[in-house]
Amino acid sequence: MADDRAGRTTAPGPAHWVSGLVPDLRRDVLFPIGGSLVSFAVLVGGGLAYVALVGGSSDRLVTAMLIDAIAVIGLQIYIGNTGVLSFGHIGFGAIAGYAFAIAAISPERKARWIPDAPFGLTDVQVSPLVAVVIAVVVALAVAVIVGIGLARSGARSGAVAASVITLALLFVTHEVAANWTDLTGGDRAPLSFAIGETLESRAPILAVLLGSLVAARLFAQSRTGRLAKAAREDNLAARAMGVDPASQQMAALLLSVVVIAIAATLRVYEIGSVTPRVFFFEYTLLTLVMLIVGGRRSIAGALVGVVVITAGRELTRRLATDGYEVAGVGLDGTPADWVFREGLPTVFLGLAMLGFMILRPNGLVDDWELDEWLHRRLTAEARPPETQPAPDAGPSRLLEADAITVDFGGFRALSAAGLRADSGEIVGLIGPNGAGKTTLVNVITGIVFATEGRVSIGSTDLTRTPTHEIARAGLVRTFQNLRLFSSLTVRQNVEVAWFTAERYRPDGLRPTVDQLVAAAGLWEQRHRRAAELDYGNSRRLELARAAAAAPTFLLLDEPTSGMSDQESLAMIEQVRTTASSVGAGVVVIDHDLGFITGISDRIYVLDRGAVIAEGSPDRVQADPAVQAAYLGSAADSIETQQPRGVES
């Protein structure tokens, strides 16, 4: 697997557009398709076997389960990849379901329920297949608007506003369905197909199920899907790698809405009618519980959840309605009567949600995927790649932050501070707690906008540019408090940054993902989750990830914080080799003077928001003003503004 990548990293060749879409043909296309086929076969085979064994009403149960599976896959594509909790996807289902019913039901029947439908819809009739297409298009149109709104609200993992917007969508669609009776028939006049016109064959459901399984897995493995997952793990770190989460979220939303819309049309077609209740709270709960119980971050989880919840509901329904006995002894009239009665399936759903949230919030399988597991088992253990010689540094470029002033509501955190760094050098930035070091780096990387001053690389002005665009321009940072994509693997962490580099700065030689991982000494751990790494390795991974973005400049915010003296010294070597392997200049903040003087060519000293000294390590260290700033002194002679402690 290392071989097929080697060719395409050297130059933007013909394979470039493929690699832009999917990183690795075998791992990201062939295995997901194979894995999807296997899951499909198991799910459908199991369902059909159950029907054959039990007969009776189990036929409808399995059909409903397969449709639910499609809907839950749709839900997973959005919630799983972006981490945004959506309550509104069933609302998209309602839109599609009604669009489908209105388009496909015969004019004679519509004349009975909705004789006054607007736009002459009463007289329209198209074939079911065309109606599905119409339903998907209508749902997508709404999804685009909702998606723009979500992006505008700053949707991200755990964002309350996004959940409220989607919840509002669910209720708006329900209100329209229930009250715009001219169009929908409302509660009292359910739009229904004539008997015999409904879905007879299971083939379309199976086709859609297989299609959505494959689509969901391919999306998750695609560049877009991986970037979405990175942003799910840490929005800010993803932006600092050059990812614009809004576009990935939109892609996930649109794909998930297509899947949900088709599932909704199947549901309507199978039931034979549509009422406002079909796509409302209950179905939202059912599909959400399925997703949560199985594991919202994986497709395997979605399917497991569908099976477990379907089985549990069916079992509780039977216990509640058909009577029951244990070991041949009937339990009627015993205290068990108190449990096994109508409503038990709903209690089961509620308790499943509650129990899993309290005991196992990541679900039964967490983020396990069948094809990833197979791929790991069926792929020969790769050897670490040879590190490649450092590329010739390109033309030297200059990073300039000039006269930066930052006011935080009356407090001046920085006053006309600045620095310059050449792409060939390592520049240190030191200063006591509260001096404004992190604020300066935040200004340079677009996380905080300066009140005054200018930031540029070469001739490109980066003042007041969004973080992800600054990263794309070649300025990549690390974070003081480690912001790894913690549930992605080591390799995936590096890969995300590598994609953005490939996309936005495709020219030039640079190491492959595997070379970067190996160079960081993380080859053995490459398939482990970032969260499982110890501290030193986490720091090394963060550095490797930043390097993978092929930066012109690396900004390292306290790379040794929390390290012992020895580890700090080892870090010097790693920063040097990493920077030279991608030909980047380095600006490094640290409190550890031993580390800073050991690594830097030049040092800036910041105190109370202003630069108080600049020069070679020796000169700076001997400067009495620097010693005073560090130790504090009774004769504090430095005249500056009075910043408040604004650093974290």
Partner 1 sequence: MLEIDGLTTRYGSISALRDASLTVGSGEVVGLIGPNGAGKTTLMGTIAGLLKPAAGSVRFEDRNVTGWAPDRMLRAGVALVPEHRRIFTDLSVVENLRLGGVTTPPRERSELLDEMVELFPSLEERWTTSAGYLSGGEAQQLAIARALMSRPRLLMMDEPSLGLAPVLVDVVFELIANLASRGRTLLVVEQNATRMLDVADRAYVLRSGEVVAEGTGDELLGQGDLFETFVGTGNG
Partner 2 sequence: MTELAQNIVDGLGRGSIYALLALGIAVIFGVMHLLNFAHGELITITGYVAYAAFLRGASWFVIAPLVLGVAVVASMGIEQVAFRWVRGAPDFTLVLTSFGVHFVVEAAFLMYVSASVKNFNRPGWIADTVDAGGLSFEIFDLVVIGVTLVTLVLTSLLLQRTMFGLALRASAEDFDAARLMGVRSDRVIRGAFALSGALAGIAAIFWLMRAGQTTPGAGITPMLKGVLAALVGGLGSLRGAVIGGFALGLAEVLLRARLPDAIAGLTDGVVFLLIALLFIFRPGGFVTVSHAERV
Whether the Cβ atoms of residue 542 and residue 478 lie closer than 8 Å to each other = yes
Half-sphere exposure of 265 (CA within 13 A, CB side): 29
Q: Mark 597-608 as b/e (b = at least 16 C-beta within 10 Å).
A: bbbbebbbbbbb
416 makes contact, choosing from partner 2, partner 1, none, with CB < 5 to 8 Å by partner type, with none
Stretch that binds partner 1, among 301-309, 421-429, 511-519, 564-572 (CB under 8 A): 564-572
* Shortest CB 535 distance to partner 1, Å: 4
Which residues, including other chains, have CB under 8 Å from residue 406's CB and lie 6 or more apart?
A: 412, 413, 414, 436, 439, 443, 448, 450, 451, 609
Whether the Cβ atoms of residue 90 and residue 279 lie closer than 8 Å to each other = yes
Tokens standing for residue 234: 């840490």
587 makes contact, choosing from partner 2, partner 1, none, with CB < 5 to 8 Å by partner type, with none
- Quick check: 42 binds partner 2 (CB under 8 A)? no
Stretch that binds partner 2, among 58-66, 146-154, 190-198, 209-217 (CB under 8 A): 146-154
Residue 409, CA distances (Å) to 30, 404, 451, 606, 645 in order: 55, 16, 11, 21, 13
Rg (Cα) of the chain, in Å, rounded?
A: 29
643 makes contact, choosing from partner 1, partner 2, none, with CB < 5 to 8 Å by partner type, with partner 1
* Shortest CB 179 distance to partner 1, Å: 42
- Quick check: 642 binds partner 1 (CB under 8 A)? yes
Subset of residues 181 to 240 that bind partner 2, contact rule: CB under 8 A: 181, 236
User: What three-state secondary structure class fits 347?
Assistant: helix
* Shortest CB 553 distance to partner 2, Å: 18
Interacting residue with partner 2 among 144, 254, 285, 393 (CB under 8 A)? 285
- Quick check: 118 binds partner 1 (CB under 8 A)? no
Subset of residues 476 to 495 that bind partner 2, contact rule: CB under 8 A: 479-481
Element (H, E) at 158: none
- Quick check: 165 binds partner 2 (CB under 8 A)? yes
Interacting residue with partner 1 among 569, 576, 615, 623 (CB under 8 A)? 569
- The 3-state secondary structure of 585-628 reads EEEEECCCHHHHHHHCCEEEEEECCEEEEEECHHHHHHCHHHHH
Tokens standing for residue 505: 């700065």
- Quick check: 616 binds partner 1 (CB under 8 A)? no
Interacting residue with partner 2 among 171, 324, 411, 504 (CB under 8 A)? 171
Whether the Cβ atoms of residue 414 and residue 609 lie closer than 8 Å to each other = yes
Write the DSSP symbol of residue 635: S
Q: How far apart are CA 634 and CA 644, in angstroms?
A: 20
- Quick check: 159 binds partner 2 (CB under 8 A)? yes
Interacting residue with partner 1 among 538, 552, 574, 581 (CB under 8 A)? 538
Residue closer to partner 2, measured from CB, 267 or 296: 296
Q: How far apart are CA 85 and CA 296, in angstroms?
A: 10
Sign of CA dihedral 349, 354, 357, 358: negative
- Quick check: 476 binds partner 1 (CB under 8 A)? no
- Quick check: 645 binds partner 1 (CB under 8 A)? yes
Tokens standing for residue 631: 């130790």
- Quick check: 34 binds partner 1 (CB under 8 A)? no
For Cα atoms 547, 551, 554, give the angle at the middle one, nearest 5 degrees.
Answer: 75
165 makes contact, choosing from partner 2, partner 1, none, with CB < 5 to 8 Å by partner type, with partner 2
- Quick check: 169 binds partner 2 (CB under 8 A)? yes
- Quick check: 163 binds partner 2 (CB under 8 A)? yes
Whether the Cβ atoms of residue 506 and residue 12 lie closer than 8 Å to each other = yes
* Shortest CB 342 distance to partner 2, Å: 6
For Cα atoms 574, 580, 581, give the angle at the middle one, nearest 5 degrees.
Answer: 85
Residue 204, CA distances (Å) to 70, 129, 207 in order: 12, 10, 5
Interacting residue with partner 1 among 432, 458, 521, 615 (CB under 8 A)? 432
Subset of residues 340 to 359 that bind partner 2, contact rule: CB under 8 A: 341-344, 346-347, 349-355, 357-358
Interacting residue with partner 1 among 378, 594, 616, 619 (CB under 8 A)? 594
* Shortest CB 156 distance to partner 2, Å: 10
Q: Which residues bind partner 1 (CB under 8 A)?
A: 432-434, 482, 531, 533-535, 538, 558, 561-565, 568-569, 591-595, 597-598, 621, 627, 630-634, 636, 642-646
Q: Which residues bind partner 2 (CB under 8 A)?
A: 83, 85, 149-150, 152-154, 157-161, 163-165, 168-169, 171-172, 175-176, 179-181, 236, 281, 285, 288, 292, 341-344, 346-347, 349-355, 357-358, 361, 438, 442, 447, 479-481, 648
